[in-house]
Amino acid sequence: MNEIEEIKSRLNIVDVVQSYLKLEKAGINYRACCPFHSEKTPSFFVSPARQMWHCFGGCNEGGDIFKFVMKIENIEFIDALRILANRAGVELKSRQGDAWQKNKSERQILLNLCEIGTRFFEAYLKKSAKGKEANEYLLKRGLTQETIEAWRIGYAPEAWSHLSDFLVSRGYKREDIVKSGLAISKDQNKFFDRFRSRIIFPIRGFNGETIGFTGRIFGNTDENEAKYLNTPNTLLYDKSQALFGIDKAKLEIRKSDFCILVEGNVDCIMSHQAGLKNCIAVSGTALTPQHLRIIKRYSPNLVLAFDMDEAGNKATKKGVALAQKMEFNTKIIPLTDEKDPADIILHEGESKWRKMIETAKPVNEFYFELALKNKDVNLLEDKKKIIAELLPIFKKIGNAVEQSYWLNKLAIMVRVEEQDLRKEMEKIKDEEDNFEVMNISPKFKEEVPKTKQDLLEEQIVLFILLDRDNISMLSSEIVNNFTGLSKDILLKIIENPKISNDELLAQLKDSPETVNLLNYLILKSEVEGEIDDLKIELEKCVRERHNLINKNSRRDLALKIKECEASGDLETLQKLLEQFNSLTKNNKKDNENQTQKNIKDLELISSEGEGLVEETAEEVSEKEGQATGENKEANQEVVEAQGQDESQEINNQEI
């Protein structure tokens, strides 16, 4: 068994996918809304039996665990291999040679740098005098020593290049250290540590690997320094996507089916320490659609605990609007009096925090209270302000009863007629939400697109998989003309129509491509379930394929005819025209034969008797009509290919 097989045998695809998104059971498979395109009905399926996934919706893509991790993490195969090998506990022995070491991907180099950086900061927190002070400070804020270690919090010393020097001494290139975000380079000569004199919170990716850092100022009284400093965007860290705590919270979010979103790293850590581990933080940035899209993979229920001061308000509102737009069920914990969740947990206890989450307010209620805050409903000016703030929000409520409820509540509160509020509301123009366009699908190498013929042949295999008896409608003569991998599958079924899916897979195991296709088609057959008029659908497909091939051949011939004309090779031209005509005649004859064959087949296999035969015959003759139409089309093709005047000449000669 090679490493890849070993990893696959040790990991279950359902577990791997579940660690990135919430799956629900659907028969023998699992499904979810596709993480790679935007959709409301789930068309992303995972098959534990086949150990594969496939999106039958917008992207129509699928594969194994490796491809899934590559796509969802947006990484190269080699990096997905490392992640999954690590997860499976498989040592990548064959890849420990010099060449492998030398050819580490850039991502791997940056990951190593971030890991060494984390250890460096951890050591300084434990061992340096200032670091010990920082540790004391963290304990005072309520973090336990155990928590500090579990979250790998560290300290960056007050020095210009301790870390950089250390990394260089370990053989890392300066340019890579800069690329990791740990150092800053100015001009040619200046090269210094980004994080100095700060408490360091490592930011981790889905699998717990450090991808960046947040540094909180400590022990430096320079007022020009920002309180918080984050790693800039790097190959690993993208602030619009990174969520602090996601590695520790993802499974909890799925389990509890809601996500607590806070602003600060310490708030997030304290919530975990208090036992509410379904908590993550957007650290040092506004909430983006990308953040929300990641959260939605785990749960559509969101509890926001954001700052309510004047500046925080605006950011909160924007975040809430974004979550609403992305159809989250959003609740809000209004944080006031300059108290953040970490302070609440420290001073008022874990139970208080728990209670605040349980009693979080639905969005509209939150807005209502917010609008009334610090205002006097008896003053006309304040009254107008409250109304102006709330009406645009209420206008967006889709449900009329709910809208009425809030308008009525507002009318009573500000003592204005509800009718007047409605009139005012009508005047409000619908706001255009200019949220940034979401780039849902990560960049990924395109596979060679399948031809129409490939797709038709796959569809034919699918219909046979759905009902093996249908194989009697195909002769090996027809199947031998199939081009793609479908041919091998069908020939095996013709050989033994009773063959089970597993036996079929076993017999085809020498061709991994064919196995992949078959796995995909089996999953598709499980997902699609029963199809009405399966036989008729199958027959349509066979016919369509036949016509397609014929049409393609005629098109090719028409092109050749044109070439011959240009070169004046009349002898070949004559032959080609004959071929063309015979192909056109054959097409007609085939259709006739097919009609008879189908009727005969249907007489043999149809359990529904005369009606179906007549119906099918009718349909076939309808097709024939189309075929005749196509003959005209083909002639047209020749005429077009020949050019009007010349065609006259050729016809004269021919005749």
In angstroms, rounded to a whole number, what is the distance separating the alpha carbons of residues 377 and 362? 23
DSSP category for residue 46: E
| From 54-62, 208-216, 511-519, 647-655, span contacting Zn ion (CB under 5 A) | 54-62
Q: Is 130 in the site for Zn ion (CB under 5 A)?
A: no
Distances (CA, A) of 337 to 311, 321, 343, 374: 14, 24, 11, 13
State in angstroms the smallest separation of the CB of 40 from Zn ion.
12
Query: What residue spans of 361-509 are helical by DSSP H?
Result: 363-372, 380-395, 400-414, 418-427, 452-466, 476-480, 486-495, 501-507
Structure tokens that stand for 493 in this block: 């079924």
C-beta of 42 vs 219, nearer to Zn ion: 42
C-beta of 61 vs 79, nearer to Zn ion: 61
State in angstroms the smallest separation of the CB of 60 from Zn ion.
7
Q: Is 67 in the site for Zn ion (CB under 5 A)?
A: no
For the chain, what percentages of helix, strand and coil (3-state, to nearest 5) are there? 60, 10, 30
C-beta of 33 vs 577, nearer to Zn ion: 33
The count of chain residues that interact with Zn ion, using the rule CB under 5 A, is 7
State in angstroms the smallest separation of the CB of 576 from Zn ion.
45
In angstroms, rounded to a whole number, what is the distance separating the alpha carbons of residues 97 and 569? 62
C-beta of 34 vs 80, nearer to Zn ion: 34
C-beta of 59 vs 479, nearer to Zn ion: 59
C-beta of 440 vs 583, nearer to Zn ion: 440
State in angstroms the smallest separation of the CB of 259 from Zn ion.
22
State in angstroms the smallest separation of the CB of 157 from Zn ion.
47
Strand residue runs (E) in 218-318: 228-230, 259-262, 279-281, 301-305
C-beta of 300 vs 334, nearer to Zn ion: 300
State in angstroms the smallest separation of the CB of 67 from Zn ion.
13
Name which position in 16, 55, 134, 323 contacts Zn ion (CB under 5 A): 55
C-beta of 55 vs 474, nearer to Zn ion: 55
Name which position in 7, 11, 59, 517 contacts Zn ion (CB under 5 A): 59
Name which position in 11, 17, 32, 34 contacts Zn ion (CB under 5 A): 34
State in angstroms the smallest separation of the CB of 46 from Zn ion.
13
In angstroms, rounded to a whole number, what is the distance separating the alpha carbons of residues 63 and 333? 41
The CB density around residue 363, as the number of other CB atoms within 10 Å, is 21
For residue 215, the SS3 value is strand
Q: Is 485 in the site for Zn ion (CB under 5 A)?
A: no
**Tokens 């190498």, located at residue:** 445
| From 31-39, 263-271, 391-399, 593-601, span contacting Zn ion (CB under 5 A) | 31-39
Q: Is 37 in the site for Zn ion (CB under 5 A)?
A: yes
**Number of C-alpha atoms within 13 angstroms, CB side, residue 493?**
28
Angle, helices 289-298/310-325, rounded to nearest 10 degrees: 60
State in angstroms the smallest separation of the CB of 39 from Zn ion.
7
State in angstroms the smallest separation of the CB of 436 from Zn ion.
21
Q: Is 36 in the site for Zn ion (CB under 5 A)?
A: yes
C-beta of 37 vs 540, nearer to Zn ion: 37
Which of 162, 122, 166 lies closest to 145, judged by CA? Answer: 122
In angstroms, rounded to a whole number, what is the distance separating the alpha carbons of residues 383 and 366? 18
**Interface residue list for Zn ion (CB under 5 A):** 34, 36-37, 55, 57-59
